[in-house]
Structure 1
Amino acid sequence: MEIVVVGRHTEVADRFRQHAEDKLAKVEQLAPTVQRVDVEVTRENNPRLASVRERVELTVRDKGPVVRAEAAADDRFGALDLALDKLSERLRRARDRRKDHRQHQVDPPVDVRPPSQIPEPEVPETAPTPPEHPGDSVERELGDSPVVIREKLHQAKPMSVDDALYEMEMVGHDFFLFVDSETKRPSVAYRRHGWTYGVVQLDTSCDCA
């Protein structure tokens, strides 16, 4: 498992890097196939935000959905502990969900036709090359203005609304972009009040000219 620690607008000391690696070692117990854990540390310089000036974001990149957690505190060691608690809970939920799916999994039907009668699978002419690490972000300035835009590449594989809500909970966001597997429309799920959610879909077939 690779652990990558980076700082945004701040330097990260070797002491914290080693501490983060020691703390995150138990992630493999909850996600045995984890490939990489990103640790992003951000420091807020506003004195009014001293109690939450250090923010730590943890991102687990596995074969399944990305699992993310973040927390803020007056020091980055405390923020790491808070974020790790959230991450561990989400990893447990992801593990339990995988177990539940395996218990209800139905074996696919077996094709009993002779090999000569089974058609060759269609291969697309060009296959899209996925980014090396989906979810990586890039910041750019908006023209000559002081506005900074942070862009992320999001893989929009078709999924059900239920799966979209699950993945939204795994990254701890209030919204989630996806392609509805039933309607094939670009959609966004968002959190409302309590345990209620909303879904907005885009109708790309309309002629708005």
Structure 2
Amino acid sequence: MKLVIHGKNIEITDAIREYVHQKIEKAVNHFQNITNEVDVHLSVARNPRINTKQAAEVTIYANGSVIRAEESSENLYASIDLVADKISRQLRKYKERRQEQKTQNQPLTETLATPAVVTDLIGDRTPELPEEVVRTKYFSMPPMTIEEALEQLQMVGHDFYMFRNAETGEINVIYERNHGGYGVIQPRQPNGSTNGKNGKAANNIVMPEKTSKV
């Protein structure tokens, strides 16, 4: 298992590195057969108004899936403890879900509602753009179905997930809607045509049974 540690506004000392290895390796010890790489990001906020200044983020690449957890507190070592516990629960949940899928062999398509067009993408939120790009991430994008992308969205814990649609070969975005359910953003062709089902472009509503976030 490959474990990589990154730091922002913090020096990764030998003591910190040893503590990360100890906690994270223990957390993923029972899941090494599905874990390919572990990325750990440690950061310290410079804003004095932020109480939880010490953050620890763990991203695990497991057999083509991405599992992510993040925790912050006033103490870096406490943040590492918290994120180690959280990523362990995420891995357990991921493994149990895979085992259930193999046992029951029931596709997620049974929980999908009829696609519809959504015009309101941000709801009551006020759009804000960052003043500068603070981080660049690179991910492989193997083709996947909307159902598989939905599962990935739930695993990484973000509000959205970008993926390559196995049906069309295009880049799509699946996101969690403010008022419940999920939506899919698809590109419209230059001539106005779409690759979506039933000729509907842009946003297909996905309404699976909502699972609580860890």
TM-score, normalised to structure 1, is 0.71
How far apart in 2 are the matches of 1:183 and 1:2? Answer: 34
Amino acid at match of 2:138: L
Tell me what 1:193 maps to: 178
* Identity, % of aligned positions: 33
1:53·1:74 contact (CA, 8 Å) conserved in 2?
yes
Structure with the greater relative contact order (CA < 8 A, sep ≥ 6): 1 or 2?
A: 2
State the shift of 1:2 in Å. 2.7
Structure 2: 5+ residue stretches without partners: 106-130, 193-214
1:87-139: CA deviation from partner (whole Å, max 9, x where unpaired): 1222112101221233256xxxxxxxxxxxxxxxxxxxxxxxxxxxxxxxxxx
Distance 1:181 1:36, change over 3 A: closer
Q: How does 1:20-169 map to 2 (within 5 A)?
A: 20-26=20-26, 27-49=28-50, 51-104=51-104, 147-169=132-154
Amino acid at match of 2:29: E
State the shift of 1:201 in Å. 0.8
Greater shift in the superposed pair: 25-34 or 5-14:
25-34
Equivalent position SS for 1:173: coil
Aligned length: 167
Greater shift in the superposed pair: 152-161 or 14-23:
152-161
Amino acid at match of 2:190: C
Which of 142, 148, 161 lines up with 1:176 in the alignment?
161
Distance 1:6 1:171, change over 3 A: same
Rg larger for: 1
How far apart in 1 are the matches of 2:3 and 2:139? Answer: 21
Tell me what 1:5 maps to: 5
State the shift of 1:32 in Å. 2.3
Greater shift in the superposed pair: 167-176 or 151-160:
151-160
Amino acid at match of 2:147: D
How far apart in 2 are the matches of 1:170 and 1:7? Answer: 23
1:28·1:34 contact (CA, 8 Å) conserved in 2?
no
Any runs of at least 4 consecutive aligned residues in structure 1 with deviations exceeding 6 A, and if so which?
A: none
1:177·1:186 contact (CA, 8 Å) conserved in 2?
yes
